[in-house]
Structure 1
Amino acid sequence: MFTSTEIRGRARTKIIATLGPASSDPKMIAALARAGADVFRLNMAHGGPEEQQPKVDAIRAVSEEIDLPLGILADLGGPKIRLGDVEGDRMLCETDAEFFFVEGDVSSAPNELTCTYEPLVEELSVGDMVMLADGTVSMRVEQKLADRVRTRVIQRGVIRSRQGINLPDVRLSAPAISVVDHQHALWAAKAGVDFVSLSFVRAPDEVRALRDILRSAGSKAPVVSKIEKREAIERLDEIIEASDAVMVARGDLGVEIDVAQMPVEQKRIVNTCHRYQKPAIIATQMLDSMHESTRPKRSEVTDVANAVLDGADACMLSGETAIGKYPLEAVQMMNRICLAIEESIAGRPPKADANPKPTLHPITRAVVQGAGEMAYSLKAKLVFCASHSGATALGLSQQRSFVPTIGVSTSEKTLRKMSLYWGVTPLRHAPAQDMQQLIRHADRWACSVGLAKKGDRIVIVGGSHLAAGPEQKEMARGVHDIVIVHEVEGE
């Protein structure tokens, strides 16, 4: 486990790093983890189980090597619509130029475009907008014919083969979970992946369907809903309530809705996640210029800072770590920015339990709130949280207390789940089944790593299973959580 300096050097806001050609070597994974990466993302749209399994094995080996639980997020591709092959792989679309989207996968002229979504021509209507190349090129449907639609370029730009297509006002019939996604979800369950994200979520039933697939394969991995469709914005509360965590996927969302509205929706999504006590992840182009540069743009630094100030639980790096030239520097920079912003707001009291949705047992919720307030008012050096499922640790995380929280559990899967919880540092090898043993361990460990000294206070939160002995366990029947304030005895 890390020293006190290393623990204090990690941001409370968690960092998700996408693995790819630039970062899949075990030495690089270890370096990224030491630099601040807590969760590693596997993009299933860019590689199936055969390519991703070695990355899972490498992450697990690194986790053991550095003695830090690391999470793995499998990101399902979802019903992403892409262009087919474009003549010369690149084409300039001039304003007012006409292009035809045709059925099938073969075009007979340069201005005929194909796509991977077979029913596209049938489901488009006159007046619909077709957005290409992350919204940099836009076309309007002007005529619908038997086997094609005629469009006119409204915003000029360059398109390339296999780029994404966004259809902001079109209700598509494509299933949220394709056959390939289903297979990838089953692999993720078998591989013991810690989180599985669903792309292009439109309705809560789609979230529940993915959870059923994972459960049928014996996995309890939390489901992360990616908010990147207008339909998801319209049913936001329902989707967040059905999810275990949420990702604001700003790339596609910024095309599906008015880009000027994007910051407003980002804040609304994060605030809604707080009401439901669900982790919120901010993703896409956070440090985009670091694909090619060791230094980000000032606007990108401000973007990350605003995500932290908004209350994001985690920020995600995509191409910056997957294919960029400076993956390690990108994680280091993300960690530096988060630390700087957190330092500017440190010292605030824990966030009040302002009418949250009932995701925690009411007794647990009250105890967690009390523990956070006690730690703050008593100037405790640490909060130790023993959590079997991770729910109590998540409850503490959602308070945004700046008293360091150490999460312990008898379950390695629960510890890896904590890798996504804001401000919670998962710790292995702690006796999480006996309160007296846990107190002694917390005392010794905090002193050994330099986080506390004799006379300091530690707050310990745990469930009734921590009561020692049959008489105490009988007395603890019906008790959901215990809070103890311990004065460190030291050596």
Structure 2
Amino acid sequence: MSAARIYPNRARTKIVATVGPACRSPEMLEELILAGVDVFRVNLAHGDLKDHSEVVKNIREISARVDRPIAALADLSGPKIRLGILQEEIVQCHEDEIFTFVRGEETTEPNQLTCNYKPLIDELEVGNDVMLADGTVMMSVLEKTPDSAICKVVQAGPIRSRQGINLPGTKLSVPALTPQDIEHVKWAAENDLDYVSLSFVRSPDDLRQLRDLLMQHESRAFIIAKIEKREALDNLDEIVRESNGVMVARGDLGVEIDVAEVAAAQKLIVSTCSRIGRPVIVATQMLDSMTTSNRPTRAEATDVANAILDGADACMLSGETAVGVHPVAVVKMMNRIMMATERMWLEQRGKASRIDNRVAQVHPVTQAVVSGASITAEHLDAKLVVTATRTGGTALTKAKLRDAIPTISVSDSDAALRRMCLYWGVTPISNAPVHNGIQLRRFIDQWGLSNGYLEEGDRVVFVTGGGIMQSAEYIVVIHRVEKPHEQA
């Protein structure tokens, strides 16, 4: 089987890689898949839809050729507030210097600023902070007039045209979905994207709007809520419950809140997702130095490891793969760090390393059966747990147990298989005979023996979810591996 060259030496924590000029060719995409990428992120803030469509088409073709499900995530740019055109290419902002935001698109004086968000002056208040250039420059609003907001530089630095503006603490009326986002949602539906992530989520209503829009376009894509605003942290439980997954988007989050709070916020978000039962991605600058270097810093390696120890299902690479000079090397490095961390974690916790907390919003029957199958597998020293699932829900429940038994998941739904690429410790396999128990067990025997996962006599625990077999909510089967000639 072609899968034999893919699965060995793979971490259980999943890798999300951003597609960009450095890796968009079919050859590079395939190399990244073989190196360890599970999900490709298509950043809709850059590039055009024709190019993005070609990337998704290539991902699907490569996935079929290497016989491995791969997910595609469309990342909506959201209502990003940006500076207008400055009078100079670079403007140095000196401490205590005065700048004035004015209405319109043009400025008449050197220290005047404009932005693409027309209600900005109306919604700013005296005392509000205005963060520019990814938070490296900070101004404070001193005074307002009907047509201007006068600001003093608190933290000096250079700014450029079209750079992002963050307004921590300012209540904005900007809609969750911009007209461009709405067009991009239509594109994601037409191209059968597996996940769609919503930027700058403030409330669960933002996610409901996106879900309604996806349904209008007959898309079943799962929704990822990007947590990058203070309002999102204030409504975290409700947002996580309304989502299908969460991204800890530390770039804008580290500007919208005090950077000193980011690590604590990350732990809060990840633990909330574990409790409620949602996959969670930790993102931004994880191996940032490898955009140009062939090795990460020690701090970056520790950052990836700590995200795994926190309970992250996946870690994301952004510029490292999109524009970096070593996209394949950075994926391999992330996989190495993940494997070393997981090995240490499992050694410390021992094989019976399930998280015993019940996961909210999981049916009690599903919870009981999956937990029981995990305990059974541990007691019998089983080599694999195999979940046969219609939607992927059984596999997600197993992933959130965080036990030591590797999990294989099969489904008759290609979309479900691709979605499971984001679930911790779950290896989705396509083309399995999910509706026939005997044939499925023979299929897994052959797959496991050819991959080196299984040996003759090993035990495998099968969990068949609701909707797969008739007249049964769940079936649990304990199976002993046989060689193909003994199954004839």
Give the TM-score band, short-chain normalised: over 0.9
Look up the match of 2:371.
Answer: 369
2: CA distance, partners of 1:220 / 1:123: 36
Q: How many aligned residue pairs are there? A: 481
2:448 is matched by which residue type in structure 1? A
1:349 is matched by which residue type in structure 2? A
Look up the match of 1:114.
Answer: 114
Deviations 1:144-201 (A, max 9, x none): 1221111000011111221111000101000001111111111101110000000000
Look up the match of 2:144.
Answer: 144
The 5 Å alignment of 1:316-335 reads 316-335=316-335
Look up the match of 1:410.
Answer: 412
Query: Would the aligned equivalents of 1:129 and 1:141 in 2 still touch at CA under 8 Å?
Result: yes
Higher mean displacement: 115-124 or 70-79: 115-124
Query: Which residue, 402, 412, 432 being the options, matches 2:434?
Result: 432
Could you tell me the TM-score, scaled by structure 1's length? 0.96
Look up the match of 1:41.
Answer: 41
Q: Identity of counterpart residues, as a percentage?
A: 52
Look up the match of 1:349.
Answer: 352
User: Structure 1's 466 and 153: CA in aligned 2 closer, same or farther, altered over 3 A?
Assistant: closer
1: CA distance, partners of 2:212 / 2:276: 21
Look up the match of 1:103.
Answer: 103
Deviations 1:121-143 (A, max 9, x none): 11111110000111111000001
* Counterpart secondary structure, 1:196: strand
Query: Would the aligned equivalents of 1:385 and 1:405 in 2 still touch at CA under 8 Å?
Result: yes
2: CA distance, partners of 1:55 / 1:31: 14
2: CA distance, partners of 1:57 / 1:452: 34
How far 1:277 sits from its partner (Å)? 0.5
Look up the match of 2:292.
Answer: 292
2:326 is matched by which residue type in structure 1? Y
* Counterpart secondary structure, 1:379: coil
Look up the match of 1:230.
Answer: 230
The 5 Å alignment of 1:86-485 reads 86-346=86-346, 347-358=350-361, 360-463=362-465, 465-467=467-469, 473=470, 477=471, 479-485=472-478
Unaligned runs of 5+ in 1: 468-472
Could you tell me the TM-score, scaled by structure 2's length? 0.96
Look up the match of 1:18.
Answer: 18
How far 1:88 sits from its partner (Å)? 2.9
Query: Would the aligned equivalents of 1:3 and 1:450 in 2 still touch at CA under 8 Å?
Result: no
1: CA distance, partners of 2:146 / 2:420: 54
Query: Would the aligned equivalents of 2:389 and 2:468 in 1 still touch at CA under 8 Å?
Result: no
2: CA distance, partners of 1:255 / 1:223: 24
2: CA distance, partners of 1:463 / 1:128: 52
Deviations 1:287-322 (A, max 9, x none): 111111111111111111100100100000111111
User: Structure 1's 195 and 147: CA in aligned 2 closer, same or farther, altered over 3 A?
Assistant: same
Unaligned runs of 5+ in 2: none
1:239 is matched by which residue type in structure 2? I
Deviations 1:175-232 (A, max 9, x none): 0011111111111011100000000000001101101111111111110000000000
Query: Would the aligned equivalents of 2:366 and 2:394 in 1 still touch at CA under 8 Å?
Result: yes
User: Structure 1's 403 and 355: CA in aligned 2 closer, same or farther, altered over 3 A?
Assistant: closer
Query: Would the aligned equivalents of 1:350 and 1:373 in 2 still touch at CA under 8 Å?
Result: no
Higher mean displacement: 222-231 or 376-385: 376-385
1: CA distance, partners of 2:355 / 2:311: 14
Query: Would the aligned equivalents of 2:168 and 2:256 in 1 still touch at CA under 8 Å?
Result: yes
2: CA distance, partners of 1:463 / 1:93: 60
Query: Would the aligned equivalents of 1:202 and 1:231 in 2 still touch at CA under 8 Å?
Result: yes
Look up the match of 1:470.
Answer: none
Deviations 1:337-381 (A, max 9, x none): 1111011112442424413212x2211111011111111221111
Query: Would the aligned equivalents of 1:367 and 1:481 in 2 still touch at CA under 8 Å?
Result: yes
User: Structure 1's 313 and 88: CA in aligned 2 closer, same or farther, altered over 3 A?
Assistant: same
Query: Would the aligned equivalents of 2:358 and 2:367 in 1 still touch at CA under 8 Å?
Result: no
1:26 is matched by which residue type in structure 2? P
1:400 is matched by which residue type in structure 2? R
1:428 is matched by which residue type in structure 2? S
* Counterpart secondary structure, 2:88: helix
Higher mean displacement: 338-347 or 458-467: 458-467
2: CA distance, partners of 1:329 / 1:175: 39
1: CA distance, partners of 2:179 / 2:434: 41
Higher mean displacement: 5-14 or 392-401: 5-14
* Counterpart secondary structure, 1:138: strand
How far 1:86 sits from its partner (Å)? 2.3
2:476 is matched by which residue type in structure 1? V
User: Structure 1's 465 and 258: CA in aligned 2 closer, same or farther, altered over 3 A?
Assistant: closer
2: CA distance, partners of 1:376 / 1:16: 30
Deviations 1:370-416 (A, max 9, x none): 11111122111111111110000111111112211111111111110
